Chains A and B, each alone.
Chain A
Amino acid sequence: MTATHENRTTARGAMHMLALAGASCLVFALTGGASFAADKVTLTYMASQDWVKDAEQALAKKFEAKTGIAIDFQILPSGQYFNVLQTKLNSGEGPDLFGGQSGVTDLKLQYNVEKNAVDLTNEPWAAKEDKLIAAQSTLGGKLYGLTYWDILGNTWVISYNKKLFAQYGLSEPKSYAEFKAACQKLLDNGIQPIYEPVADGWHHVLWFPELGPRFEQVTPGLADALNANKATFAGNPTMLSAVTELKEMFDLSYMGKNALADVYTGASKAMASGKVGMVLANTGFGSLVEHDYPDMKASDIGVFLMPLADNQQVNINPAGPTHFIYAGSAHVDAAKQYLAFLAEPENVDYFIDNTPTAMTLPFTGAKSKFSPDVQALFDSHKEARGTVYQTAVAYVNPQWMDIGADLTAMFTGSMGPDKVLANIDKRRADLAKAARDPAWKK
């Protein structure tokens, strides 16, 4: 009898313990795992893969040591990130901080920042952020994000092997005709002129919308007309030239015989092999090659502008991965403190020093690590620069991979250049209609 009673008591106690543990788990889950200690705040920061650099994680540790506020990085694969973020934002369960691509169209369409993000216009760092770049995080006159990304360093230019160019008596091309002649000369000498990783699906798209400044130079006001639905891509002769020339480069084997299977992660190896003349890459590519293959120095790699459609304009993309504070966060002040901490000059310089691919950050007084060649290119084109079309023109960026598939279909002969342009217009119209864009209303 006593034993049975004891057994029952023990069983009841165990049940109570289980219930308590279950309740604790439930409370923990419902609070999103937030810290219980009154003096300890943990901010969740959700971002896409590659957007959070090691240097930022180190800065977050310093921030925690200084303020007691911890940052819990939730990094998702890039292919899933947008869907997961949208689900969280739409269900009212967003993280304290979230990453997103700036760009006025994306701010409104993809992130709905007026509803989901906190106004940061009066933050102390706002005045120090580059105006062109801050404008891409601004909607309705309010600044919503901190762009902590090397914008200028992510300018896509053609990196070339200086030794090969010197060996075959080539100079930096300034027109498509010169570029084609250089490619042919390299090909004739057994060198693959360009390493173009088409298999990734995104890289070969760069050759087109990145020429936005050239399109704008030939047809001033074109981006505005496209955004107002008063112009189209199809029928624009400069755009048609650019896409046709891209097709010609593929057909003439300038991209190599394996372009459709090549991936961007192989670009530095290809360049270091000495068997490839050029790669379309960002301005930090030389440093990356030297880092991966020390036998080739960054100084062995020169840069010039993409010469399709005779382009000689620097293609700046002022949009990039940006930090937003979720409007529904319970820790808005702590999140603001974190952004202010990141933007402090010594932390900006720390980030640049400790991120191999970052040449600079878009803040007044930030240091620069550009190679002399890249610096010379920027210096010589201070007036000849503009915004790329994936940022300047609405509904281009969301169809990036579709354009990639169309261009690949064009390479393989199942689509013509004019159809590629017409498809861009078609998808823009579909997206605009879905977004209830007044410019597309009947």
Chain B
Amino acid sequence: MKSHRSYPFTFVVAALVLYVTFFIIPSLSGIAYSFTDWSGYSDEVEFVGLDNFRTILSPDENYLSFIGNTLLFTFWTIIIKTVFGLALALLLNQGVRWFVNGYRVLIYLPVILPTLVVALIFRSILDPASGLLNSALRGIGLDALALPWLTDPRIALYSVIGADSWKGIGYIMVILLAGLQTIPKDLYEAASIDGASAWAKFRFITLPMLMPALMIVTVLNVLYGLRVFDIVYALTNGGPGYATEVLSTEIFKAFSKGQFGLGTAISSILFLILVVTGYLVIRVMERQSDRE
């Protein structure tokens, strides 16, 4: 009996040891280091209590604006990717009659492009002087709309959000499309017989039935958005000034400068934000799902 109870444990023990060794212990030691002044400039490491966290949360520093940028990026990419991803998924599920697979491939294509390539493409498109977008706008007489997309601090973050959304919409669309295809057709047929409008069918059949898929894409988007690094680093490197700096790029810069204690403190804060936000999103969506 006893050996039976320990039997499943023997299967997971190897994986557990690896997980604890390479994930749990480094994560915990990372949190521990966030209370030190560990840096590349001295062999000594001293306990500094909450100093690193005080620095990060100080209004005199820029870190609060980096947290704000991270949250703004996450919020808008969730909205844009989900709305457009859902619209495209609905179109490809019902609206488009021919070349459906071709469209799916075309919309999904940006997802498989390396982020660096996407960033280079958008850098050339959004260049204020010679970029494709501004040249096109000037060409059709809309000079006033030809803006410094990546160099104006008021709009640079939104340009990054746009570029990232373009890359990520296809991925969201595929998940939602899979969700749409699991909805039984007879529900729509029954609703049609009852005289339900297209909006009513969407509101009372599609949305509730799609809630599990929407929950997945929202959680994925939240986790991705809060940890975003590559598109920001490659497109603006956090600039102009600090206008597009997010937590992950700042963590990278802190480590590059040998500020390991501070870097781990920012990582700890990001970890905390991830856990809290992820938990809240799941709770809210579960409640919504129960209500539906």
Contact = CB atoms under 8 A, between A and B. Distances in A.
Contact of A260 (B39, B151, B257): B151
Contacts of A201: 237, 239
B241 interface: yes
A432 B241 CA distance: 24
A306 B189 CA distance: 78
Contact of B238 (A405, A411, A412): A405
Contacts of A83: 255-256
Q: Which of B129, B148, B240, B241 has the most CB of A within 10 A?
A: B241
B163 interface: no
A405 B256 contact: no
B42 A408 contact: no
Q: Which of A408, A413, A415 has the most CB of B within 10 A?
A: A408
B242 interface: yes
Contacts of B237: 201
Given A260-B148, A405-B238, A414-B153, A398 B243 contact: no
B41 A431 contact: yes
Nearest to B40: A86
B42 A409 contact: no
A342 to B, nearest CB: 29
Contact of B150 (A79, A261, A415, A433): A261
Interface in B146-169: 148, 150-153
A109 interface: yes
A79 B127 CA distance: 24
Interface residues of B, number: 27
A261 B129 contact: yes
Interface in B83-108: none
Nearest to A408: B241
Interface in A370-404: 398-399, 401
A436 interface: yes
Contacts of B129: 257-258, 261
A173 B44 CA distance: 50
B42 A406 contact: no
Interface string B110-129: 00000000000000000111
A260 B41 contact: no
Contacts of A199: 151, 239
Contacts of B42: 434-436
Contacts of A398: 257
A261 B129 CA distance: 9
A110 B40 CA distance: 8
Contacts of A86: 40, 258
B241 A434 contact: no
B259 interface: yes
20 contacts: A86-B258, A199-B151, A201-B237, A257-B129, A258-B128, A261-B150, A261-B151, A399-B257, A405-B242, A412-B240, A412-B243, A414-B241, A414-B242, A414-B243, A431-B41, A434-B37, A434-B259, A435-B39, A435-B41, A436-B42
Interface of B: 37, 39-42, 44, 127-129, 148, 150-153, 237-243, 253, 255-259
List 6 A-B pairs, minimum CB-CB distance, nearest first: A409-B241, A260-B151, A434-B39, A435-B41, A408-B241, A434-B41
Interface of A: 79, 82-83, 86, 109-110, 198-199, 201, 257-258, 260-261, 398-399, 401, 405-406, 408-415, 430-431, 433-436
